[in-house]
Amino acid sequence: MPFTIAIDGPAASGKGTIARSLARHFGFHHLDTGLLYRAIGAMGGDPVAAARSLTPADLARDDLRTAEAGQAASRVAAIPEVRALLVDFQRGFARQDPGAVLDGRDIGTVICPDAQLKLYVTACDEVRAQRRAAELGVDAGDLLAELRERDARDAARSASPMRPADDALIFDTSDMTIDEAVALAVARAREAGA
């Protein structure tokens, strides 16, 4: 069975950076599952129809990393039918040899509950707002309320709420450099048998 690493956590916590680094380090496939929801939200129209027609090309859109796409993703991710349509795609991705790293909000709890390694990556709200603001070239103060709103919506939704899996290792990256966070994740992956 391929080795699977499930990484969950709120926006701008560092989970995507850690996931990409782990995938490169171990030669695994990587899926940023948030792109699925961002693409559906950016497509507009009926989210269920968009989920049914989603193609790999939709994940390569230039507008998926905007704050608007993030908010749209959070809204469509709360629709149970949209989530159900994407579960098989994500689980199939996780079964690729030699292994896969998936990052999102419900990977360790719903998509890959049997993953050999589960990480829940978080950081304090202010640090996350500063990181995302630097990425987007906007004011951190403007983003703080948006991040908190999105976190509350993602944690409170009835379908696959954002929360750490019971057996997830919690990584608070608030005071870590990228290199420190990645080194810790690599060490934990090795301990788990990657």
Query: Is 12 marked as binding a ligand?
Result: yes
CB atoms within 10 A of CB 135: 12
For residue 161, say whether it is annotated as part of any ligand binding site. no
Q: Is 118 annotated as a binding residue?
A: no
Pick from 169, 164, 151: nearest CA to 12? 151
- Which ranges of the chain does DSSP label H, i.e. alpha helix? 15-26, 34-43, 47-53, 67-77, 80-94, 125-136, 140-156, 178-191
- Strand pairing report for 169-172 and 99-104: unpaired
11 annotated ligand-binding residue: yes
* Residue 14 known to bind ligand: yes
Q: Is 41 annotated as a binding residue?
A: no
Q: Does the annotation place 21 within a ligand binding site?
A: no
Place of tokens 């996780």: 94
Q: Is 104 annotated as a binding residue?
A: no
Which residues line the annotated binding site for ATP? 9-17
Which residues line the annotated binding site? 9-17
